[in-house]
Amino acid sequence: MPRHPLCFLTAALLAACSATPPPAAPAAVSDLDQSSAGATSATNAAANLLAAGTARDVAPDAIPDASPYTLSNTEVHVLQSAALGRRYPLLVSLPRDYASSGERRYPVLYITDVNYAFPLVRSIGTMVGDKGAGLEDFILVGLGYAEGDTPPYSRRRDYTPTRNGPRDAEPDESGRPALHGEAEAYRRFVAGEVFPFVEARYRTDPARRIFAGHSYGALFGTHVLLTEPRMFERYILSSPSLWFDDRVMLERESRYALGHADLPARVFFAIGSYETVKPGSGDRRYNRTRDMIADLRTFEARLASRRYPSLTVDSTVVADEDHLSAYPAAITRGLRWALPARR
């Protein structure tokens, strides 16, 4: 299995890491498809570079004297899924002292929407507290989009629990109509193929797997929580798209409660204060039709009413942030919650 350092051309890195999504009407789409389109199209060239490992393979028109930019302590693997028949990049960032830490085993944070989230979470993880001293060291694993798929197509298919996606979901850049509803197949891929791959190659602590996702990524995390909660020890779920398919996850929660006396997990929810509806407001940051704060509060209340003995839930509303801007603050708080510094 090839392994490469995470290298980007300077130009590609700047495009990927500084690309800003085009302005969009808040809540016109709450699954980040529109917000991802601008940022992830810019990162696709960089993402393609991950598997190639060299600049000239994907950037023939790059500045001749440009040199690759390497993110230290990072590696990229491309995993062929036997079950799904697709190839998925896995981006791995190791703690700075990993090579010299002997037999020490580390918690692993698995994240979705890797084109945006991986460089962001990696950077935040090295800065919280005094240059990262505010967090316990961890291995970061980014779950990449399927090769050959655009990010919107891949995430709609893999992160959603039913085929009843939004009727207004637009075709992706390739012209293929939106496909939804393969979250369970993707969950099995992560559990049955990604976990063994990562844990065979790195000094991980399998009892301390952590999941983090935003929007559709958090919807996928909610699916995992209500399907196989012990798959992760902790869940960081920010701005989950609980509106999906007429709030199907509320139905799933009720169904879970009928068959289970416990839900063994620790969950951290976060959402932006603008992710609600405010009729008459001229502030475009408010959602137009989807009150995601109300959906989350309903979901939290349902969980609390079950009195599951092994479930703990923490929740926060991130002030002055909307659906597209809440994630950096949400993941920072989530990391502090999940991985406080070891004393």
Q: What is the 3-state secondary structure (H, E, C) of 34-85?
A: HHHHHHHHHHHHHHHHHHHCCCCCCCCCCCCCCCEEEEEEEEEEEEECCCCC
Rg (CA), the chain: 19
Distance CA 151, CA 172 (A): 9
Say if CB 182 and CB 146 are below 8 A apart: no
Token look-up 């926060």 returns: 316
Torsion from C-alpha of 217, 218, 224, 229, nearest 10 degrees: 140
Q: Which helix (H) or strand (E) holds 109?
A: strand 106-111
β-pair partners for 89: 78
pLDDT (tens digit per residue) in 90-133:
999 999 999 999 999 999 999 999 999 999 999 999 998 776 68
Distance CA 275, CA 272 (A): 5
pLDDT in tens, the chain (343 residues): 445 555 543 333 333 333 333 333 333 334 454 333 333 333 343 334 333 333 334 455 667 788 888 889 999 999 999 999 999 999 999 999 999 999 999 999 999 999 999 999 999 999 987 766 889 999 999 999 999 999 999 999 999 999 999 988 988 888 899 999 999 999 999 999 999 999 999 999 999 999 999 999 999 999 999 999 999 999 999 999 999 999 999 999 999 999 999 999 999 999 999 999 999 898 999 998 999 999 999 999 999 999 999 999 999 999 999 999 999 999 999 999 999 998 6
Distance CA 32, CA 238 (A): 12
Identify the structural domains of the chain with CATH numbers, from first to last: 73-338 (3.40.50.1820)
Distance CA 218, CA 232 (A): 13
Instruction: Name the pTM for this structure.
Output: 0.84
Say if CB 42 and CB 14 are below 8 A apart: no
65 token code pair: 């004297």
pLDDT (tens digit per residue) in 292-306:
999 999 999 999 999
- Show Cβ contacts of residue 301 under 8 Å, excluding neighbours closer than 6 positions: none
